A and B are shown apart, each in its own frame.
Chain A
Amino acid sequence: MIEVYSFLAVFLVQILVMSVLYPLRLSRLVQTNLKSSSAERLAEFYPGVDVGRAHERFITRYRTANAVVAVLGLLLLGGFFSYTKRPDWDEGRLGVVLTAYCFLQYVPIILFGWFTTRFNKVHRRSSPESKRKAILQRRGLFDFISPLTVVLAILSYSSFVAFMFYVARHPFPGFAGPLPNIGILTLGYMLLGSMVYWQIYGRKTDPLQTHANRLHTIRVTVNNIAWMFILAPIVLSLTSARRLLDLDSWSPFLGSLVFLTIGLVSFRALSAPPRQPEMEGLGSSTVR
């Protein structure tokens, strides 16, 4: 029963983190960012629109959607509790409901992103400024993450490759072989790698973003992606190890733990950038 109680505990934390703390922090960050942009600048970029009011409306809808998801999660928790008391409880069925709920937890943030993108597309002017600014400073990967993190990611990937070849010698039913597993992870790495490149060297999407704010965003995002590089092989290895050791009853716990970990890693992206004079309108204006 320890696996059931572990799962219920992790699931409760997952509800709290993803549907209560995450929305609270995101709302606070949006409000902080809004306050750091002067009214004149906002009026320049959004002519004839009350951005503050529109944001408040978004936030209210976002919080409501999360409250609904959190209540649904608590109801599910009760349901899982009574279901796992039954002697014939099946981790496969529970896993399907759990996965569906985990994706549901991401729906409010997806809607929030969609509303923001649509709002910007309709109301924001591309760039009213004729003068474009940039800091003449080279950005590189190691300006944002430590070499140790890269070493850990390489170690994690290499260990996964070695583990897959080990599992191939003692395969379990449903094991697709080492190459498809390694291929999927490599594709994931390539996708994440292109995201890192785009973050560091790509165009700035928000013209209101200051230079300090942009560097902070790059640092946090690249670090999050680096953690994904490290964690993805571990999660995939644990999934295989669970099947290999016939510990299927632990799968709901592991599933919930994975989603919670992803949530906690992405939580870092919501930290506010350090206060800079330029962010308070004291220094230079928008820096590209």
Chain B
Amino acid sequence: MEITIDIDGPLPQFEQLIEQIKAAVIGGVLKPGDALPSIRQLANDLDLNSKTVAKAYQLLTRDSIIETKGYRGTYVHPKAKANCKFNLQEWTLRKLSESIDELREAGVTDSEIRNAFASAINRQPPGK
């Protein structure tokens, strides 16, 4: 499967990489368990910074579309196709909207919501 990165394109390079890998998974070109090239190999082949490819792989791993099996390398996740359909950004937006609606119904002003959101996001997550 061929990956094309348009360095003059409007989308960031790591997003282009993510979109094309997702499209390959949805289209069945990449199947669960298929091996992916290492970060260094792909970065060198595309003449990109390895941090760009690493970021794309990191986000794909977070979304369970790919998985890293230690020194054996990176593979397509067994549930990659189903996970591709899940849009984390949309889900986050929906959850936040629901919470904001609930707070507005309780009479909290937008300014208070903003302040509370800023405090909440700056709070250290438990265990860190």
Partner of A136, one of B2, B40, B47: B2
Q: Are B45 and A138 in contact (CB under 8 A)?
A: no
Per-residue contact bits, chain B 1-24, to A (CB 8 Å; 1 contact, 0 not): 111111111000000000001001
Q: Mark B48-69, 1 if CB is under 8 A from A, else 0.
A: 1000000000000000000000
Judge whether B6 and A288 touch: CB under 8 Å: no
Partner of B47 from the list A135, A200, A203, A284 (CB cut-off 8 Å) is A203
Partner pick for A288 among B8, B21, B36, B47, CB 8 A cutoff: B47
Cβ of A204: which chain B residues have Cβ within 8 Å of it?
Answer: 44-45
Give 1 or 0 for each of A109-149: 1 = CB within 8 Å of chain B CB. 00000000000000000010011111111110000000000
B46 on the A face (CB < 8 A): yes
User: Given that A127-B47, A137-B37, A139-B41 are contacting pairs, would A132 and B7 also be in contact in the complex, using a CB cutoff of 8 Å?
Assistant: yes
Q: Which residue of A lies closest to B37 (CB)?
A: A138
Is B42 engaged at the interface, CB distance under 8 Å to the other chain? yes
Asked whether A87 is an interface residue with its Cβ less than 8 Å from the other chain, the reply is: no
Say whether A138 contacts B73, CB under 8 Å.
yes
Q: Known A138-B36, A201-B40, A204-B44; judge A131-B4 contact (CB<8 A).
A: yes
Write the nearest CB–CB distance from B56 to chain A, whole angstroms.
12
Taking A203-B47, A204-B45, A288-B47 as contacts, is the C-beta distance between A134 and B38 under 8 angstroms? no
Question: Do B38 and A201 have beta carbons less than 8 Å apart?
Answer: yes
Residue contact A134 to B2, C-beta cutoff 8 Å = yes
Q: Is B26 an interface residue (CB 8 A)?
A: no
> Size of chain B's interface in residues, with CB distance under 8 A?
25
Closest Cβ of chain B: how far from A196's Cβ, in Å?
14
A-B contacts counted at CB < 8 A amount to 64
Is A202 at the interface (CB under 8 A from chain B)? yes
Q: B48, A203: Cβ atoms under 8 Å?
A: no
User: A202-B44, A204-B44 given as contacts; is B6 within 8 A of A136 (CB)?
Assistant: no
Determine whether A265 belongs to the interface, using a CB cutoff of 8 Å to chain B: no
Query: At the interface, yes or no: A287 with Cβ under 8 Å from chain B?
Result: yes
> Contact between B41 and A288 (Cβ–Cβ < 8 Å)?
no
Q: Which residues of B contact A287 (CB under 8 A)?
A: 2
> Which of A127, A132, A203, A287 has the most CB atoms of chain B within a 10 A radius of its CB?
A132
Q: Which residues of B contact A139 (CB under 8 A)?
A: 37, 41
The interface of chain B, by Cβ under 8 A from chain A, is: 1-9, 21, 24, 30, 35-38, 40-42, 44-48, 73
Could you give 7 example pairs across A and B, Cβ below 8 Å? Answer: A130-B6, A132-B7, A133-B4, A136-B21, A203-B47, A204-B45, A288-B46
Ranked nearest first, the 9 interchain pairs of A and B with the lowest CB-CB distance are A134-B45, A130-B8, A138-B35, A136-B1, A203-B44, A138-B37, A134-B46, A201-B41, A132-B5
